[in-house]
Structure 1
Amino acid sequence: MLLLTRCSLLGLLFSASSLLAAPVVVTNINGYGFNAEREVSPFKVLVFDDATGKIIARGDNDLAAKYAAAKTIDGKGKTLLPGLIDGHGHVLGLGFNLSMTELRGSSTEQDAVKRVAEFAAKNPELSWIKGRGWNQVLWPEKQFPTSTLLDEAVANKPVWLRRVDGHAGWANSKALALAGVTKDTLDPAGGEIIRDAKGNPTGVLIDNAMALIEKHIPESTDAEKLHALNAAFKHLLALGITSTHDAGVDTATVKLYQQLAAKSKLPLRIYPMLAANDPELANWLKAGIIDDKTDFLDIRSVKIYGDGALGSRGAALIKPYSDKPDQSGLLVTEPDQLHAVMQQTINAGFQANVHAIGDLSNRITLDQFEQLVPAEQRIASRHRIEHAQIIAPIDIPRFAKLGVIPAMQAVHATSDKNMAADRLGEERLRGAYAWRTFIDQGSIIVGGSDYPVELAEPFHGIHASVTRQDQHNQPKGGWIPEQRLTLTEALRSFTVDAAYGAFQENMMGTLAPGSWADFILIDRDIFTIPETELWQVEVEQTWVNGEQAFNK
């Protein structure tokens, strides 16, 4: 591959200048990196430049003798891996999630309401009670909740609770009243107000309808946002994540990132995707790509929404839902508008990263890429489809033909396995969560978690990729096991392949000479433990740019 040949050349050039470096030698390690063919390359010693934060060399124990006068770090026999890259998350959302009602794992609607009531009682100063993480599919009735129980728990202030996937919200009557949502309120384009038999709002709003409530929630201050960002940074570093792609960032947040970067206060690398609906998008595109020589803040991509999510039946399907024949999902961005914003992005030389979960949304997006991107530019442009979750089998080869990268989250499959067949029927599962099919046709998968929709645990994603099982190692043998990845492929999706999806594979994800010294030390060797234990791996140290950023 040309891209990895460049990486090797960069490494040779850097080695030639290593005599001027301030080397640090990490010894007594069980290291794994990647070579030019993206194959796993073991090593026992890693040498990096303390001044530049770049890798100088890696090799066996004899390498350490060449740097006898250098500072030495004893790895104490631990396994060392490249720093992990989450290719699709929401940093500010994660930070805010860490300081609101946690509804993930609630067993019933009553359990969720109890958590809300307890949180409200402990935080009387809050004007709004917010939370996230409920999932009605995991409740016995599998039905959307209503405002009734919420009203009993919290009646004097508005309550707004986002579903686990972020594509539906649950409000109490106070919030509905403040927003003026009544029986007479019309569903907005790309959204739905769930109603009872009499046409009254039940309290749940889907996709674009959520804005009816959210526009009334007071805007967070910059100080509150910075607090949330720093909380998220700390959390991600503790999980071994040294770089993350932030999917859909508004101008205010990008400017906060820029302020932190200017003061060298970004503790991990951020690849923000500009939000397509941001009023300042045209100005960002006109200003052009921002290629940060330190790679802490490269800005060259746009996040565009195609449809909703499967759990809330917002994913746009070619044929109706198997468990709701009168619904086919929602196109959050209508095709004409999608065409316009994709064209605007592509013409500016930016990477277009389109959220598409349902097979209809994926097909429409692929059609747009085929129309808008000249054949000779497709591979180099590295445009992406975020999630690429449910795809008509006939459309999967088009990803390779069009050079479109699938950015997929393995944990979505293990989270969705209990309801995906109900939503889609068995036939459509042939093109759902099809990681093996993508790899076998030569596609590069950008791995990620979609936090805070899912936990930001990268080893959960690696485990799910390899086993197609949840943390209880269910179902036995794996769900649609023919789509499993090898451990090497799974690790690549969270390292060098995720870096490729951000034009950064020459500088991170491999631990090759000349790349950034972003690495982690973990508590066990992932290549020797049973694959069922992969999700249990714990990070003991995280290093970014040759500096320790986390120590357990």
Structure 2
Amino acid sequence: MVKHLTIPTRAGVLAAVVAIALIYAQRPLVAHDGYVLCSPVNTKSIYTVDPRNSVVECVLVRGKKFVASGSLDEVKVKRTWYPWTEKVKYIPKGSIVVPGLGDSHAHILEYGKTAQLELEGTKSVDETVKLVRQHILSNPDLLGDKSRVIFGGGWDHMSWSTRQFPTSKDLDSDPVIRGRRVVLQSKDCHALWVSLAALDTCGEIPSDIEGGVVVTDVNSNPTGVLLDNAQELLKLPHPTEDELRSRFLTTVKDALSYGLTSIHDAGLDPMSLDFFEREVAREKSLPIRIYAMKHFDEQELYWGNTTIPYSGAANGWLSVRSVKIFADGALRTGGAALHHHYHDNPSTKGFMRLSEDVLVSVIPRFLKDGWQVNVHAIGDRANGLVLDAFESALKDANVTALRPRLEHAQIMTKEDMERLGGLGVIASVQPTHAISDMSYAEDRLGPSRVHQLYAFRSILNSGTRIALGTDFPVEEMNPFKTFYAAITRTTVSGQSPHGRGGWFPEQCLTREETLRGMTIDPAYASFTESTLGSIEPGKLADLVVLSQDVMRVPVDRIMETKVVATVIDGKVVYGDL
């Protein structure tokens, strides 16, 4: 049968063209918020971190999302036919593109607070006190008002020759400091060194504090150092909204300059989440993606069944669907809960900040009510008890689906490492902790136990997913130091207790594993792997342009890496394209 074809008239064709034109005239002109980003000619330098770890020539960004990746010809197929279509932009020669970087464990407001007076790197008590004195003298507002509280952080008694805790008297021996309330956070954020005036705010100090220690002298008098839960004894005025916002913006500014596009805030200060939510209500957005862990306090009523977890508020910038629980203290300050006594202090095995009964009771309840449970656990005893609680929770909840996390997972028995993978628990670890602690680790743990510390390769081989972070301000925010530490296990000068080959080099990660641990794995750990963590069509266009190829350059050049541009939702938020 021959079909009759209807030949459109000239008027009909014109009418059709006009109709199509009207349709496109009503569409928003999106061309100028789209672009093709390409490697230098004849190179592939865009690391997508997709399931195949593909490295491609170009990526097409349109609006807030990645639309296509591949060669320029492949990407062109996806481009619009507009005469004002997307521009092709080329990154500088030698540079690369990676997905937006994530930090899976950090403390946002604490970083901004510590930045007021940074004490990292001091070599003695006297040197630290001098920094406090100089800070007061150089700030007229502080100098002229003795009622102001002076905050700082980063001191590390383990890097001092004495390796002894400082005292209030050390601060008050300086006439400029004397009589002022001074509160100085330790490097690991598990101790406060305070002046006499600050110590007086504690009132009557109890002789015993569950989950904490007030350091005392031979006469049982407080010396001015408060460990873990004892820090809560201080009674200080709450920071103002302006002070909180200043701390927040300080952190964000530095984070974007380092290529961070998302941060998991680990709930050290319960004020943080309240501030983030107020900031969203005020600004309708945030300048960086935040995955916030809600603070747990065993003294409060259980709230897991009265508070609803949420994801992607403020157009995907804020998520609150996890709870942060502290199981024990820290290795540096001797509070990590161990199975056996400290090698350098046989009088203690550390301590739990929460009892085993609380862990076994609370963890299954939170999981059953739909919360991801993220537990700070440093010592091998603490990690074992937390895994016990996770394992028992399988009776009431699908633990794997809720992706519980061990925050730090620093010292673990071989059996618990294997159990970690079998349970589907995520290990949220910090490679820079390893190179910070390796100088004193064997003294603290002894030769038979030290190999269990920061055993990243063993944990990964157990089938566990690893999400990498810094724990800033405990360590530097710099993600390139994280990258360097993970693959070398040496100081940035190439040293370690085991020589230039690295401290327990068999525990090193590969560059590919490390990049995934800083991109797609933090996304998985925050339930956002379908929208973040890799450069794939349909995902949000978060990316970073780095000044050099960290996947190939010699390790001694990694720390030279700079961020050329940071992009969130397709828009440049730092640097330039």
TM-score, scaled to structure 2: 0.87
- Tell whether 2:275 aligns with 1:256: yes
Moved more, 373-382 or 502-511: 373-382
Match of residue 287, structure 2, among 267, 292, 309: 267
Deviation at residue 285 of structure 1 after TM alignment: 4.5
- Tell whether 2:547 aligns with 1:530: no
SS in structure 2 of the partner of residue 427 of structure 1: coil
Matched residue, 2:132: 116
8 Å contact kept, 1:392–1:428: no
- Tell whether 2:537 aligns with 1:513: yes
Higher Cα Rg, which structure: 2
Matched residue, 1:229: 248
- Equivalent-residue separation in structure 2 for 1:106 and 1:427 (angstroms): 31
Deviation at residue 404 of structure 1 after TM alignment: 0.8
Q: What residue identity is the alignment partner of 2:169?
A: T
Q: What residue identity is the alignment partner of 1:180?
A: G
Q: Rate the CA distance shift 1:519–1:279 in 2: closer, same or farther, 3 A.
A: farther
- The C-alpha deviation readout for 1:231-260, integer Å capped at 9, x for no partner, is 211111111100010001666532432343
Matched residue, 2:145: none
Q: What residue identity is the alignment partner of 2:574?
A: F
Matched residue, 1:412: 433
- Tell whether 2:556 aligns with 1:545: no
- The C-alpha deviation readout for 1:205-224, integer Å capped at 9, x for no partner, is 111111122xx111012222
SS in structure 2 of the partner of residue 353 of structure 1: strand
Q: What residue identity is the alignment partner of 2:72?
A: N
Alignment of 1:398-547 (within 5 A): 398-475=419-496, 476-547=500-571
- Equivalent-residue separation in structure 1 for 2:438 and 2:68 (angstroms): 43
Moved more, 196-205 or 131-140: 196-205
Root-mean-square deviation over aligned CA pairs: 2.1
Deviation at residue 60 of structure 1 after TM alignment: 1.5
- Equivalent-residue separation in structure 2 for 1:156 and 1:251 (angstroms): 29
Q: What residue identity is the alignment partner of 2:524?
A: Y
8 Å contact kept, 1:251–1:280: no
Moved more, 26-35 or 101-110: 26-35
Q: What residue identity is the alignment partner of 2:509?
A: L
- Tell whether 2:379 aligns with 1:358: yes
- The C-alpha deviation readout for 1:27-74, integer Å capped at 9, x for no partner, is 2352111222xx421111111112xx1100111232354338213333
Moved more, 529-538 or 421-430: 529-538
- Tell whether 2:305 aligns with 1:305: no
Structure 1 unaligned residues grouped into runs of 5+:
1-18
- Tell whether 2:53 aligns with 1:40: yes
- Tell whether 2:174 aligns with 1:163: no
Q: Rate the CA distance shift 1:361–1:279 in 2: closer, same or farther, 3 A.
A: closer
Alignment of 1:157-306 (within 5 A): 157-180=180-203, 185-213=206-234, 216-248=235-267, 252-262=271-281, 263-277=283-297, 282-283=302-303, 285-292=305-312, 294-306=315-327
- Equivalent-residue separation in structure 2 for 1:43 and 1:24 (angstroms): 16
Specify which structure has the bigger relative contact order, considering alpha-carbon pairs within 8 angstroms and separated by 6 or more residues.
1
8 Å contact kept, 2:368–2:397: no
Deviation at residue 144 of structure 1 after TM alignment: 1.1
- Equivalent-residue separation in structure 2 for 1:259 and 1:205 (angstroms): 31
Matched residue, 1:97: 114
- Equivalent-residue separation in structure 1 for 2:221 and 2:346 (angstroms): 22
SS in structure 1 of the partner of residue 376 of structure 2: strand
Q: What residue identity is the alignment partner of 1:102?
A: E
Q: Rate the CA distance shift 1:65–1:515 in 2: closer, same or farther, 3 A.
A: closer
- Tell whether 2:402 aligns with 1:389: no
Q: Rate the CA distance shift 1:149–1:453 in 2: closer, same or farther, 3 A.
A: same
Q: What residue identity is the alignment partner of 2:538?
A: G
Q: Rate the CA distance shift 1:35–1:105 in 2: closer, same or farther, 3 A.
A: same
Structure 2 unaligned residues grouped into runs of 5+:
1-27, 143-147
- Equivalent-residue separation in structure 2 for 1:135 and 1:90 (angstroms): 18
- Equivalent-residue separation in structure 2 for 1:209 and 1:376 (angstroms): 34
Q: Rate the CA distance shift 1:97–1:278 in 2: closer, same or farther, 3 A.
A: farther
- The C-alpha deviation readout for 1:404-453, integer Å capped at 9, x for no partner, is 11100000000000111111111112321011011112211010000011
Moved more, 454-463 or 273-282: 273-282
- Equivalent-residue separation in structure 1 for 2:412 and 2:508 (angstroms): 17
8 Å contact kept, 1:181–1:201: no
SS in structure 1 of the partner of residue 169 of structure 2: helix
Matched residue, 1:5: none
Match of residue 39, structure 2, among 28, 37, 42: 28
Matched residue, 2:172: 151
Q: What residue identity is the alignment partner of 1:527?
A: M
8 Å contact kept, 2:115–2:152: no
Q: Rate the CA distance shift 1:133–1:86 in 2: closer, same or farther, 3 A.
A: same
Matched residue, 2:65: 54
Deviation at residue 470 of structure 1 after TM alignment: 1.4
8 Å contact kept, 1:366–1:399: yes
8 Å contact kept, 2:215–2:227: yes
- The C-alpha deviation readout for 1:469-521, integer Å capped at 9, x for no partner, is 11111121101111000000011111001111111111111111111110011
SS in structure 1 of the partner of residue 359 of structure 2: helix
SS in structure 1 of the partner of residue 214 of structure 2: strand
Identity %: 36
Q: What residue identity is the alignment partner of 1:79?
A: I
- Equivalent-residue separation in structure 2 for 1:107 and 1:264 (angstroms): 45
TM-score, scaled to structure 1: 0.91
8 Å contact kept, 1:393–1:430: no
Q: What residue identity is the alignment partner of 2:208?
A: D
Q: What residue identity is the alignment partner of 1:221?
A: T
Matched residue, 1:379: 400
Moved more, 201-210 or 532-541: 532-541
8 Å contact kept, 1:275–1:281: no
Q: What residue identity is the alignment partner of 1:292?
A: G
Q: Rate the CA distance shift 1:250–1:429 in 2: closer, same or farther, 3 A.
A: closer
Deviation at residue 284 of structure 1 after TM alignment: 6.3
8 Å contact kept, 2:304–2:369: no
- The C-alpha deviation readout for 1:270-292, integer Å capped at 9, x for no partner, is 00000012888855652322122
Moved more, 357-366 or 138-147: 138-147
SS in structure 2 of the partner of residue 471 of structure 1: coil
8 Å contact kept, 1:171–1:203: yes
- Equivalent-residue separation in structure 1 for 2:457 and 2:395 (angstroms): 28
Deviation at residue 454 of structure 1 after TM alignment: 0.6
